[in-house]
Amino acid sequence: MDDIAGRIVLIVDASVPAAARAACDDAAATLARRAGMPVTLAAVPIETLDAVQPVIRRGPGQIRELDPPDPDAMASAPFVRRRDGRPDWGAMWTTFCELALHGGPPQRGALQALRGPSGGDRAGASAPDIEAELRRGIEETTGLATEPAGPAEPGWIAITCASARMAAWLCATIILENVDARVEGLRLLVPAGPGFALEDQVKSVITVVAKTHHYWREHLESARETRS
């Protein structure tokens, strides 16, 4: 390989166990298929990793460090994309696991709890394309209208509910899933903070809104209509 320009390079410590190396091979193959471009997997001595870190972290380069999933969190559903490459939010869940409210595993473990930015933090908002995708996913899975929470609330999305009771119940139930939420009358506010990634934070927010809305519509609302 003479030139790595235009390639994705994954670097792994050569001393990791064989099982971890095999997992890295699988991850590289999957990434190559998904990205449609070559992926180089480099197993190097730890001394080389230590030496190269200052170069990678210098200037505009970015390193994202991902921890293993919290064992107390809900297992993640496969990420599904449409033919145009955009997430197919409506096709990602055919069933929902039990709510944390009723003893099921929370969407995120306590160590990866998703917090919203503090009020008025101008640096607290997601990138416009991420916010748009978050809103699209919520609307696609619930049919509820969304909008930015307002200029005084950067980093939050407002979902208009059918009633204040519905908004309050969804808010309390989402919080138990270890995802922040707030309520303002008919509006349910969920985070859309900086650094959100589609397959991590965005997916978590859409999932908890979708599954709590599903439970409200299919169980609580239907039961109330039957009694009346």
Residues 8-46: tens digit of each pLDDT: 888 888 887 777 777 777 777 777 776 777 888 888 887
CA distances from 59 to 54, 66, 90 (A): 10, 21, 39
Instruction: Give me the pLDDT at residue 143, please.
Output: 94
CB 108 within 8 A of CB 73: yes
Instruction: Give me the pLDDT at residue 66, please.
Output: 57
pLDDT in tens, 182-201: 999 999 999 998 889 998 99
Q: Which residues contact 92 (CB under 8 A, 6 or more apart)?
A: 77, 78, 79, 80, 203, 207
Quick one: what percent of the chain has pLDDT higher than 90?
Answer: 34
Highest mean pLDDT among 3-17, 92-106, 141-155: 141-155
* pLDDT: which is higher, 35 or 136: 136
Q: For the whole model, what pTM was predicted?
A: 0.63
Lowest mean pLDDT among 90-99, 115-124, 171-180, 183-192: 90-99
Q: Distance between alpha carbon 74 and the CA centroid of its chain, in Å?
A: 13
When pLDDT is cut at 50, 70 and 90, the band that residue 176 belongs to is very high
